[in-house]
Structure 1
Amino acid sequence: MITTSGLVEVPNLSHVHESRPNTTSAYLQAIDLEGNHIKRIPAHALRVHAAQVSLNYNLIEEVPAYAFKFAQISKLSFRGNINLKRLDDNAFAGNLVLRQLDLSNTAITSLPIKGLEKLEVLKIEKTPSLKYIPSIYDLRGLKEAHLTHHFHCCAFAFPDRHDPARHALYELYIKELKEKCSQNEESKSAERRQRSLEPIRLTSQERIQAAILGTSLEDDESTATTSEDDSPAQYDFDYSGDISNEDDTFTPPVNITNNAVIEMSECGNFSARLRIVNCTPLPDALNPCEDVMGWTWLRASVWFVVAAAVVGNLAVLVVLLANRSELTVPRFLMCHLAFSDLCTGIYLFMLAVVDLRSYGEFFNYAYDWQYGAGCKIAGFLSVFSGQLSVFTLTIVTLERWFAITYAIYLERRISLGTAAKIMIGGWLFSIHMAGLPLAGVSDYSSTSICLPVKSASVEDVVYQGSLFLFNAVAWVIIVVCYVQIYRSLGGGGEKYGGRAAAAAAERRIANKMALLIGTDLLCWAPVAFFGVTAIAGLPLVDVSHGKVLLVFFYPLNACANPFLYAILTKQYRRDLINLIARSGRCNWLVERYKLAATPPATAHTQPSTPAPLVPLVHYDRSHSQISKENGELL
């Protein structure tokens, strides 16, 4: 034990066993060099026989090739070497008895497999830099694995997807072994039947061999019976980690060269069941062993949602920005709404592309995706677009309510400059909320869909709660404003003297308002409800089922808003026709629109036809109602 002594290099311990001629029985129980300043491991410095070697909490940066050649070490630990980044491919080569390896709290990015074939316990905890874990076909003796990432344990649970090439060879080997053992069993059965019918006759060569070996016919019979019925012995070194007495020695594995024995051993111990590795941390609700989209039908559906969100919002942006000369407050707000919803479509597009590329083996790509720039960008777009969309919808609703409530006060309208200042505040708020997970509040890398669902601290819970609270307050404001708008327009056809046209117009307005409120409710309510239950510690849905909400409810506004607020309005169609007319193409479509938009003949266009008299009070109310319905506000 040389601990906390300022060593900068591993001392040469290769001469420890020279005083005892029988090196196979000489061993050290432990070599403890913990807490020093060791930076390098010289070649052959640890050519020892030891139960345990501890190099914990040093300054080791690299383990060179063949650092433990000719050594026999059962347990090796590098825990706490935060500067350890590189392990040579042959770092552990030559150590035939390594059973436990601890690389926790290091900065390694890969794990070599040479020399770890007999490894039973592997510890790589709190090492987020490790990208890839070898398969169970490389770590053939592994029984326990204590790792950092959930998706690494998926590699042991699904070896067919983690390493398809090696698994195919394994399946081929199992198939051939089954056929081989079946043929051997048939031949042995036929031989036993033949022996039962005929007396045993040995050839002269067999008799000479039996005489040399000192065996008789009865010995041969008993040997044959034993070899057929008894299970073969296991030739392997097994070390539990604790030295109980001085008789324990390191026994190297026995190399069996007799093909008949190998064949008998394989058939006697034959099992097609894969080895089970006890791995932690196990896949949980946030990180299941599945692809990004999970189900096949969800994988197909997300592309339709992406197409609707991207195409619809791009169409709105192109038409509105092409008519910048007629920019008004509603159009200005519609541009911001379309851009925020377009970001939601881009976020889903990124998830769909990653799911397509990693189909069937996402855990092999999980590190590069979840801890790379892609997931951070996708998560930022998701939160940013969600908050900016909610903020813009609230401002749009408030602007409509203000314009209709104070319709006769033209000087009280929201100016374009005021709307620009408000939206600058909305952008700053959305960027701030989307940037907090990048600064350490919650985390975009906690799940494959890159949402800040991690709630490990009070700051995480406060952050998530503020997101849901903002959405809830915004929805309440929207509902209250639309109810006030509806009440200001009248409340029924009876206020228009029972006129059917006015009642029908009011019903259309009520249906449109109900559709706007309903889409907002379907979009926010499920996500908010399950999010609040998760924050409270009682999650009612895991990530696997939460992806249904992500595809069909979360982007509902992004798909519906461009149609409800722009594409289905008369003003948008007029702007689109003007854009087509300026391009000089599709003139037939422009002429058709002009014919459809030409109003029918009335008393104003044909004076010979007298117009019916309408009371002034009813005319004013009806005229105000029609102008509100056909204008940009509604």
Structure 2
Amino acid sequence: MITTSGLLEVPLLSHVHDSSKSNASLSYLQAVDLEGNHIKRIPAHALRGVRADQVSLNYNLIEEVPPHAFKNAQISKLSFRGNTKLRKLDPLAFAGNLLLRQLDLSDTSITSIPTKGLEKLEVLRIEKTPTLKYIPSIYEFQQLERAYLTHHFHCCAFAFPERHNPARHALYETQKAIMAQRCGHGNQKTTALTRKRRAMERLSPILLANTQVLDDDSTATTSEEYDSVANDDYFSDTGSFEYDDQGDFHAPVNNTSIQGVAYECGNFSLNPRKVECTPRSNALNPCEDVMGWSWLRASVWFVVAAAVVGNIAVLLVLLTNHTELTVPRFLMCHLAFSDLCTGLYLFMLAVVDLRSYGEFFNYAYDWQYGVGCKIAGFLSVFSGQLSVFTLTIVTLERWFAITYAIYLERRISLTAAAKIMIGGWLFSILMAGLPLAGVSDYSSTSICLPVESESVGVAVYQGSLFLTNAVAWVTIVVCYVQIYRSLGGGGEKYGGRGAAAAAERRIANKMALLIGTDLLCWAPVAFFGATALAGVPLVDVSHGKVLLVFFYPLNACANPFLYAILTKQYRRDLITLIARTGKCNWLVEKYKLAATPPPTAHTNPSAPAPLLPLVDYHRSQSQVTKENGEALL
């Protein structure tokens, strides 16, 4: 034990088992503890040939493990925990160590792990190591029983080896079929030898070789090193040591009389091997693709098409029109841009789902911890907040325009609207940028939303998102109710006339549609989000993806049609744009004929305009206000 002593290099320990000593074959170390020093490198021969129950190199400054660093060593437990600078493990770093049962690489910076020399590994610990990108196939760890990892998708890879590494799984299936045929039709000699083996003490199992099928009179091997050291002092019939189930030394059993076939068949099983792996898949990270269901995978493309095409059409017409920029047109541009960002977010998810179909856990690291997921998450939160803010301002602007129709000085000016939207952009960028700064995390799920609430700060952040949507929706409902009341509330002001009643119904239907789409978009997401925030989640991520595809982007799909494309002003701007191109003249002429009103006394100067009573004059003024309100809606 040389701990916290400023040691700069692993001392040469191979001489501890010098072959010149008479009792060298019996000597072994219980532990080699070099924890808490300043070790930066492992010399090539420092730990070769060492026999020890456990070797601890924890909390040092090791940056790399060289090839064959433990060649011909007998080490049961090896730990590199806390070497935060350890980034590289040579593919042959553990080659030659035939008895390694437990390996701890937790709290390091490795990106991959080798498999050579880890065939007998039973316990693997790689916790608090977010840099680990790829985990080898479970077939490379032939005796692995427990794995404590950092990422849930690595456990998913162990659970679905046929998807994780199809080529290795196909090889395993071929080998299994051959072994089933051999062991199922073995002769009496093989059966007797198998029973004899089972009656003996447990030997270290040697499973099927990676690419080799052995003959009946051969011995199964698992690594090249076994051929080179199987006959040396470490595995001789007398004087050497092996490990039992607890990782301690014991005298080996003489197995020279057991043939290879009996040895293989005694360890052969048709049942798939299960590994106890953590962290297991949970409600936030199930072992499934990004979209989960096939019908959801197909539906998302329709949603993306509606959101992207609709909002691009609105922006194209509004930005290319050379007429005077008004407040409604200015606000519509911001609303279309925010909804377009939502469509782009869903498009990114759809592309990743299509690319990683059937094997997402092989792409999960690059997606969830890469730039792509951060961009998608930022777009999602930014577009949601900016869309909610803009919808609220649009509603307030309509309420001002209709309620104070006579008082032009009370309208929202373009300068005031610009200042308000600057505030909305800053607020939206702030809320979308907080997860990038460490408040919550976009990498917690495959859909890149900040859904985990592990601390009070994160809970406050998520609660503010829900509160913003709630306040916005209440404001929109109140404003539209006030607008409806100011426009007559049912036609009573017009004596129940048919035209007025029809106008009221059209306005009421439009308001109900606007409020209804907002409610369908925000209410389900807010409700299930609030329950999850309160610690009582009613829906997991698998089912929450339905909310993501069908409810969350509802406004992004409906807003360009409800607020722009289906309005008379948009159609007028579109026809103007088409007329400037000089094409589709028939469509322009058709629109002019449909939009030209029939001649009346007001349009014909020769016919004098009839005088209206004072009461009818006030009614006509109210009707104009009402028509203006209908046009705005």
- Quick check: TM above 0.5? yes
Segment drifting more, 607-616 vs 135-144:
607-616
C-alpha separation in 2, matches of 1:480 and 1:290: 42
C-alpha separation in 2, matches of 1:432 and 1:567: 31
C-alpha separation in 1, matches of 2:413 and 2:618: 31
C-alpha separation in 2, matches of 1:116 and 1:274: 20
Q: How many residues align?
A: 589
**What TM-score do the two structures reach when normalised by structure 1?**
0.89
| 2:14 corresponds to | 14
Shift of residue 385 of structure 1? 0.3
Matched, 1:421 2:391: no
C-alpha separation in 1, matches of 2:64 and 2:525: 47
CA contact (8 A) 1:319 1:579 kept: yes
Superposition pairs of residues 362-377 of structure 1, within 5 angstroms:
362-377=360-375
C-alpha separation in 2, matches of 1:50 and 1:313: 68
CA contact (8 A) 2:55 2:79 kept: yes
Residues 529-570 of structure 1: per-residue CA shift (max 9 Å, x gap)? 111111111111111110000000000000000000000000
| 2:101 corresponds to | 99
| 1:505 corresponds to | 503
CA contact (8 A) 2:405 2:625 kept: no
| 1:110 corresponds to | 112
Say which SS state the counterpart of residue 589 (structure 2) adopts.
Answer: helix
* Cα root mean square deviation, aligned: 2.1
Residue of 220, 234, 244 corresponding to 1:239: 244
CA contact (8 A) 2:129 2:150 kept: yes
| 1:550 corresponds to | 548
Residue of 65, 83, 86 corresponding to 1:81: 83
| 1:40 corresponds to | 41
C-alpha separation in 1, matches of 2:190 and 2:518: 80
Shift of residue 169 of structure 1? 1.3
Residue of 68, 71, 74 corresponding to 1:72: 74
| 1:594 corresponds to | 592
C-alpha separation in 1, matches of 2:82 and 2:265: 44
Residue of 155, 168, 171 corresponding to 1:169: 171
Distance change (3 Å), C-alpha of 1:150 and 1:470: same
CA contact (8 A) 1:313 1:339 kept: yes
Shift of residue 171 of structure 1? 1.6
C-alpha separation in 2, matches of 1:342 and 1:291: 25
Shift of residue 44 of structure 1? 1.4
Shift of residue 274 of structure 1? 1.2
Matched, 1:226 2:227: no
| 1:616 corresponds to | 617
Distance change (3 Å), C-alpha of 1:146 and 1:228: closer
CA contact (8 A) 1:96 1:252 kept: no
Q: Percent identity?
A: 76
C-alpha separation in 1, matches of 2:409 and 2:66: 79
Shift of residue 360 of structure 1? 0.6
Residues 73-113 of structure 1: per-residue CA shift (max 9 Å, x gap)? 11000111111111111111111100000011111111011
Unaligned runs of 5+ in 2: 205-241
Say which SS state the counterpart of residue 430 (structure 2) adopts.
Answer: helix
| 1:519 corresponds to | 517
| 2:558 corresponds to | 560
* AA matched with 1:338: A
| 1:604 corresponds to | 602
* AA matched with 2:346: L
| 2:465 corresponds to | 467
Say which SS state the counterpart of residue 138 (structure 2) adopts.
Answer: coil
Say which SS state the counterpart of residue 276 (structure 1) adopts.
Answer: coil
C-alpha separation in 1, matches of 2:181 and 2:590: 77
C-alpha separation in 2, matches of 1:253 and 1:363: 44
CA contact (8 A) 1:341 1:389 kept: yes
Segment drifting more, 443-452 vs 226-235:
226-235
Say which SS state the counterpart of residue 110 (structure 1) adopts.
Answer: coil
Say which SS state the counterpart of residue 464 (structure 1) adopts.
Answer: helix
Matched, 1:393 2:391: yes
CA contact (8 A) 1:99 1:239 kept: no
C-alpha separation in 2, matches of 1:405 and 1:616: 19
CA contact (8 A) 2:103 2:121 kept: yes
Distance change (3 Å), C-alpha of 1:537 and 1:133: same
* AA matched with 2:2: I
CA contact (8 A) 1:97 1:252 kept: no
**What TM-score do the two structures reach when normalised by structure 2?**
0.89
CA contact (8 A) 1:20 1:26 kept: no
Residue of 150, 153, 158 corresponding to 1:151: 153
Say which SS state the counterpart of residue 137 (structure 1) adopts.
Answer: helix
Residues 367-394 of structure 1: per-residue CA shift (max 9 Å, x gap)? 1111110000000000000000000000
Distance change (3 Å), C-alpha of 1:253 and 1:167: farther
Segment drifting more, 323-332 vs 437-446:
323-332
C-alpha separation in 1, matches of 2:107 and 2:607: 94
* AA matched with 2:498: A
C-alpha separation in 2, matches of 1:228 and 1:105: 43
| 1:576 corresponds to | 574
Say which SS state the counterpart of residue 76 (structure 2) adopts.
Answer: strand
Shift of residue 238 of structure 1? 4.3
C-alpha separation in 2, matches of 1:126 and 1:495: 71
| 1:378 corresponds to | 376
C-alpha separation in 2, matches of 1:272 and 1:495: 84
C-alpha separation in 1, matches of 2:603 and 2:142: 92
Superposition pairs of residues 121-140 of structure 1, within 5 angstroms:
121-140=123-142
| 2:57 corresponds to | 55
CA contact (8 A) 2:4 2:36 kept: yes
Say which SS state the counterpart of residue 277 (structure 2) adopts.
Answer: strand
| 1:197 corresponds to | none
Distance change (3 Å), C-alpha of 1:591 and 1:23: farther
Shift of residue 267 of structure 1? 4.3
Shift of residue 398 of structure 1? 0.5
Distance change (3 Å), C-alpha of 1:103 and 1:474: same
Shift of residue 49 of structure 1? 0.5
CA contact (8 A) 2:400 2:411 kept: yes
| 2:212 corresponds to | none
C-alpha separation in 2, matches of 1:459 and 1:145: 32
CA contact (8 A) 2:244 2:250 kept: no
* AA matched with 2:13: L
C-alpha separation in 2, matches of 1:503 and 1:365: 59
Say which SS state the counterpart of residue 113 (structure 2) adopts.
Answer: coil
C-alpha separation in 2, matches of 1:250 and 1:45: 26
* Greater radius of gyration (CA): 1
